[in-house]
Amino acid sequence: MAPLNIYIGGEFFRRLREENRYYVDKTGLIEEMLSENQPLVSLITRPRRFGKTLTMTMLQEFFDIRKDSRQIFEGLDVSKNARLCEAWMNKYPTLFLTFKGIEGQDFDSALALFREMAVRLCSDNSYLAESQKAAPEDKILLHHVMNRVADLSELSNVLLILCRTLEAHWGKPAILLIDEYDAPVNHAEQKGYYDEMIGFMRNLLGAALKKNTSLKFAVLTGCIRISRESIFTGLNNFKCYGVSDAQYADKFGFTPAEVDAMLSEAGLSDKKPLIQEWYDGYRFGDGTEIYCPWDVLLYVSDLQYSPKARPQAYWNNTSSNAIVRTLIAQSGRKIRSRVEALIEGKAVEEKVAENLTYDLVYKNKSSIWSMLYLTGYLTKSPVQPDDGNTALVIPNKGIREIFTTTITAWFNESIEKQDLSHFVEALWNGDAEAIQEMLTRILYDTISYYDSTESFYHGFMAGLLSGTGLDPESNHESGLGRTDLTIEDGLNKRAVIIELKYAHEYEELEKKAGEALAQIEEKRYAAGLPPHIKSVLTYGIAFWKKECCVKAKSQDLAR
């Protein structure tokens, strides 16, 4: 069976179709979009990596009057509606732009990036600046933009003027497609120039969407809906379709049937349980089940060339996951308990608002939960409460790994900031009681997850010891087996050997710690230490959730 020709990271619909790349047909969106009661402005919000940009370029190819798109839509769902295609395909002047890359370090640098985007947009439509049908004053503005001499007011009106000149030239109102409309505002808030950017965006979008008589309709995509008061003031014929809305629920991301068809065609149907565990779990609208398309495509591509490839949290390689880090950094006891519950597969109930302002998201702890939901780190639980709250869960194993990876990094950073000299002193003195007390305090101050039992606590202890400045060696081959953790102090001719156990009940802690200590002796771990080591401290440590028991024993090595 030939591998699927997958378009990894591709955002251009024409190129995908002309290169015969694998495409999950989402053209039914067009028919749904052109149904009755269509708003003047539609805002569709979805998490990152759910195919928003590809969908927007698909809309551009379908509507743009300057293109001939019959061949690239042939055989797709929308082509079956001949009447709709006759009325709409390549019949309207269309503008497509994305704000994805407008991420300056300050407002001036962000504005410079927007200016270059406007230059490209006007240059792509440079014929309008010479059109005999366009108003002279509008053509002057287009020339100013293309020559990079446009002032702030002219830049704020560039979309309005382009729509106006398009209508004048073609005799038809324009369709405006804006991808990732909220990206500049999100970045501006993080970099400290939110007020300047929100003011500019309010003027730009107000001019383009509010009083633009040359607009047939507009479609915007983004991660969240910025509140109407911040950016869409006075815009009446406007509708937002968020992740909780039934309309378009199956048009972004892959449905189970679409994933089944893909896996069948690729000869990978046996991998469905693994893919479902790692990348399924989103619920849009009234409960439509959705897979993350980015993750599915990347893993299927990996499997085609390496059948034993293991799934990955591909989101970790594409974004900073700043929102998760912010949640962890703000983690008081209440938030920590909720994050732990989520990682254990439980639901947490929170107030969720889909109408946000970026300047409050990172300052208002309740908004953090809404942001995690809207950006795809959490999704709705199948069972919802009746009290107006929303039950949220981590959708799948891939996102769960992002949480645990972020927690590990946060823990290591926080350990580096602590004074752990007393812990080191207790470790070399064999003071089991002091070590137990300090470990318990640290466990209660951190965020724990218990999916991997001993492996979690192994990582916890390795990170803690590394944070003290010691250099622990994990799974060191010694004696008749492998030690969990070994620390050698060659200068003082001494060493520490640590064996870890996980207790399934609190009452087992002391017993398990004793078993761990006995294992060190039974497997003669100390015999594998270098000849210059003359004394060794051995520790058996057992954990149960945030409790631990530590037992210690010292011995001199007769050599």
**What are the tens digits of pLDDT across the range 72-87?**
999 999 999 999 999 9
In a domain, 286, yes or no: no
pLDDT score of 229? 56
Distance CA 30, CA 215 (A): 18
CA angle 279, 354, 219 (to 5 degrees): 85
Distance CA 92, CA 328 (A): 48
Q: How confident is the model at residue 55 (pLDDT cuts 50, 70, 90)?
A: very high
| Residues 113 and 200: beta-carbon distance below 8 Å | no
pLDDT tens digits along 536-558: 999 999 999 889 999 999 988 76
In a domain, 118, yes or no: yes
In a domain, 482, yes or no: yes
| Residues 302 and 294: beta-carbon distance below 8 Å | no
For the segment 14-25, the average pLDDT, to the nearest whole number, is 95
Distance CA 328, CA 320 (A): 14
107 and 166, same domain (yes or no): yes
Q: Which domain holds residue 459?
A: 418-556
Pick from 375, 404, 433: which residue ends a domain? Answer: 404
In a domain, 92, yes or no: yes
Other beta carbons less than 10 A from residue 127's beta carbon: 11
What CATH number is attached to the domain comprising 539? Answer: 3.90.1570
pLDDT at 432 over 60: yes
| Residues 464 and 442: beta-carbon distance below 8 Å | yes
pLDDT at 309 over 90: yes
Pick from 365, 382, 404: which residue ends a domain? Answer: 404
| Percentage of the chain lying above the pLDDT 90 cut | 62
Q: How confident is the model at residue 225 (pLDDT cuts 50, 70, 90)?
A: confident
429 and 396, same domain (yes or no): no
Distance CA 311, CA 300 (A): 9
Characterize 386-405 residue by residue with b for buried, 16 or more Cβ atoms within 10 angstroms of its Cβ, and e for exposed: eeeebbbbbbbbbbbbbbbe
394 and 488, same domain (yes or no): no
pLDDT score of 449? 63
* Closest residue by Cα to residue 334 from 322, 350, 323: 350
In a domain, 435, yes or no: yes
pLDDT at 480 over 70: no
Give the helix/strand (H/E) hosting 551. Answer: strand 547-556
547 and 467, same domain (yes or no): yes
Q: How confident is the model at residue 45 (pLDDT cuts 50, 70, 90)?
A: very high
* Closest residue by Cα to residue 56 from 206, 175, 157: 175
* Closest residue by Cα to residue 215 from 169, 159, 143: 159
In a domain, 412, yes or no: no
pLDDT at 477 over 70: no
Distance CA 437, CA 442 (A): 9
pLDDT tens digits along 449-474: 655 556 778 888 988 898 888 889 88
Give me the chain's average pLDDT, please: 89
Q: What is the 3-state secondary structure (H, E, C) of 30-49?
A: HHHHCCCCCCCEEEEECCCC
Q: What is the 3-state secondary structure (H, E, C) of 360-374?
A: HHCCCHHHHHHHHHH
Strand-pairing partners, residue 499, are 540
Look-up: residue for tokens 């520790």? 539
For the segment 115-126, the average pLDDT, to the nearest whole number, is 96
More confident residue, 47 or 413: 47
For the segment 170-179, the average pLDDT, to the nearest whole number, is 98
453 and 548, same domain (yes or no): yes
81 and 224, same domain (yes or no): yes
In a domain, 175, yes or no: yes
pLDDT at 35 over 70: yes
What CATH number is attached to the domain comprising 176? Answer: 3.40.50
pLDDT tens digits along 318-371: 555 666 766 666 666 677 788 888 988 999 998 888 777 666 666 666 678 888
476 and 443, same domain (yes or no): yes
pLDDT score of 558? 66
59 and 128, same domain (yes or no): yes
For the segment 43-52, the average pLDDT, to the nearest whole number, is 92
pLDDT tens digits along 398-413: 999 888 887 777 777 7
For the segment 435-441, the average pLDDT, to the nearest whole number, is 94
For the segment 407-424, the average pLDDT, to the nearest whole number, is 79
116 and 184, same domain (yes or no): yes
Distance CA 16, CA 20 (A): 6
Other beta carbons less than 10 A from residue 432's beta carbon: 21
Number of structural domains (the chain) is 3
pLDDT score of 483? 87
34 and 176, same domain (yes or no): yes
Pick from 216, 241, 266: which residue ends a domain? Answer: 241
Q: How confident is the model at residue 481 (pLDDT cuts 50, 70, 90)?
A: confident
In a domain, 382, yes or no: yes
426 and 395, same domain (yes or no): no
pLDDT at 428 over 90: yes
pLDDT at 416 over 80: no
Distance CA 226, CA 470 (A): 48
347 and 436, same domain (yes or no): no
pLDDT tens digits along 271-295: 999 999 999 999 999 889 999 999 9
Q: What is the 3-state secondary structure (H, E, C) of 246-265?
A: CCCCCCCCECHHHHHHHHHH
| Residues 524 and 480: beta-carbon distance below 8 Å | yes
